[in-house]
Amino acid sequence: MNTPQPKTDLKNLTQEQLVGFVESLGQPAFRGRQLLAWIYKPGITDFAQMTDLAKEFRAILAETATMSRFDDAQVECSRDGAVKFAFRLEDGQLIESVLIPEEDRTTLCVSSQVGCAMGCDFCLTGTMGFIRNLTTAEIINQVCAVRDWALAHDRAPLTNLVFMGMGEPLANLAHLLDAIAILTEQRGLDFSNRRITVSTCGLVPQMQQLGDLTDVNLAVSLHAANDAVRGRLMPINKRYPLAQLIEACRTYRQKRRKRIMFEYTLLEGINDSDADAGQLADLLRGVPCKINLLAVNPAGNPAYKSPGQDRILRFQRILRDRGYTVFIRQSRGEDIAAACGQLAGKGWEETVAGKDGEVDGRADGCSEVSPLSP
């Protein structure tokens, strides 16, 4: 007995790969471009809805292909307006994404892996260890699912994407690059490159590939200005120490006027002194950059505490006096474990779910929290 071939998930395919797929089915190349435009239209869940494709071709697609989607997520709202989504994958693993509405933009924080192998000492995701990479479709489906949820619940549309969720994006580079190609393709999800930011803890060779192959924004998680402290906080520093990382940033290929964003989490008594600020200013000299300061979030490691607001402001002032553009990033979603460094897929099994898996988020400041499907 012949074993049936598994169906191809079309959301794993870039436009170029879709063209190759339809040609393998005996179809002209332009059918692949047509197909891409249909796949990412809101509400399209069945090939029968693709009315400008021949019925025979639609029948072939139904036999050979599928369009995966996340439609049974649990959703929880923070008092500050952030919304956390938990997606159950086909193998039972759980990933999380966070929607962050602001006055001038609506940002989705996207995950790239289940768990993380980087082991940063203050990050809860790092305590999970590495489980597996997400497929291209699993990356893309986070964006599609939250887009559809926002439409169904009369929320502002997504404008920005940041790969700062679970996992190290550049450790899943092949699937990340395919996802970026789909996200930025006009027939796909049509995001601007300048509205997408990829964050890394400092995988130097992959940084260089990202700069060569895309025009998206780069954010580097720095968190210390010397190797002794950074090596203690971030094991990756032993493989790519600061001198190597900063040189890669200095030579990073990017469009004119673009600047690398350096993320710096302030830890009381560890990396938040005046001397640390001066050392950071010296380290980044000559690198076109902006600096994001963030107080550490409670993430399961009581050894790290947030410095007071006065200390954060002084750290910012020292850097500004040295000529840097410095922002203080306000933590969002801390009350629902959705803030930076808190994503670990924990607690959802213990959540009291209502009808059809609906999570009652009203106690957390939501007027309505529901599954993705209205």
Mean pLDDT score, 98-120? 95
> pLDDT for 23-45, tens place per residue?
999 999 999 999 999 999 999 99
Q: Are residues 181 and 58 in the same domain?
A: no
Bridge partner list, 66 = 9
Asked if 96 and 165 count as a contact pair (C-beta separation under 8 A), the reply is yes
pLDDT digits (tens, 9 = 90+) for 336-371: 444 455 445 554 444 433 333 333 333 333 433 444
pLDDT for res 367: 38
Q: Which of 21, 37, 66 is the last residue of a domain?
A: 66
Higher pLDDT, residue 231 or 129: 231
Judge if 191 and 249 occupy the same domain.
yes
- In terms of Cβ atoms closer than 10 Å to its own Cβ (0-12, 13-18, 19+), residue 26 is exposed
Question: What are all long-range contacts of 237-243, with beta carbons under 8 Å and residues at least 24 apart?
Answer: 237/202, 240/202, 240/203, 240/204, 242/283
> 206, 171 in Cβ contact below 8 A?
yes
Q: Residue 157: which of 191, 188, 181, 199 has the closest Cα?
A: 191
> pLDDT class for 128, splitting at 50, 70, 90?
confident
Decide if 33 is inside a domain. Answer: yes
Q: What is the average per-residue pLDDT within 239-266?
A: 93
343 contacts 125 by C-beta, under 8 angstroms: yes
Instruction: Tell me whether residue 27 is in a domain.
Output: yes
pLDDT for position 352: 33
137 and 247 co-located in one domain? yes
DSSP string covering 78-117, please?
-TTS-EEEEEE-TTS-EEEEEEEE-SS-EEEE---EEE-S
Within a domain: 24: yes
In a domain, 167, yes or no: yes
pLDDT of residue 350: 44
Pick the catalytic residue: 109, 289, 340, 366?
340
Same structural domain, 147 and 275: yes
User: Which of 66, 95, 111 is a domain's end point?
Assistant: 66
Same domain assignment for residues 44 and 113: no
Same domain? 87 vs 12? no
| Percent of the chain at pLDDT exceeding 70 | 86
One domain for residues 109 and 242: yes
Could you give the number of structural domains in the chain? 2
- Looking at the structure, tell me whether residues 153 and 284 fall in a common domain: yes
Torsion, Cα 102 153 340 272, to 10 degrees, reads 20
Check which CATH number belongs to the domain holding 154 and give it. Answer: 3.20.20.70
Cα–Cα nearest to 193, from 135, 254, 136: 254
Statement to judge: residues 289 and 325 lie in one domain: yes
pTM over 0.75: yes
38 and 13 share one domain:
yes
**Domain limits at 26?**
8-66
The verdict on 55 and 157 lying in the same domain is no
66 touches 299 (CB < 8 A)? no
Of 76, 96, 138, 168, the active-site residue reads 96
The answer to whether the beta carbons of residues 74 and 85 sit under 8 Å apart is: yes
pLDDT at 357: 36
Q: How high is the pLDDT of residue 332?
A: 59
Over residues 321-341, mean pLDDT: 73
185 carries an active-site annotation: no
Percent of the chain's residues with pLDDT above 90: 77
Count of Cβ atoms closer than 10 Å to residue 279 Cβ? 16
DSSP assignment of 286-316? TS-EEEEEEEPPP-S-TT--PPPHHHHHHHH
Instruction: Mark whether 126 and 177 lie in a shared domain.
Output: yes
Residue 352: inside a domain = no
Radius of gyration of the chain (CA): 22
| Residue 228 burial class via C-beta count within 10 angstroms: exposed 0-12, middle 13-18, buried 19 and up | exposed
Does residue 96 have an active-site annotation? yes
Using the predicted structure, report yes or no on whether residue 5 has a pLDDT greater than 50. Answer: yes
102 is written with which tokens? 């602001």
Q: Which of 148-157, 296-305, 346-355 has the lowest mean pLDDT?
A: 346-355
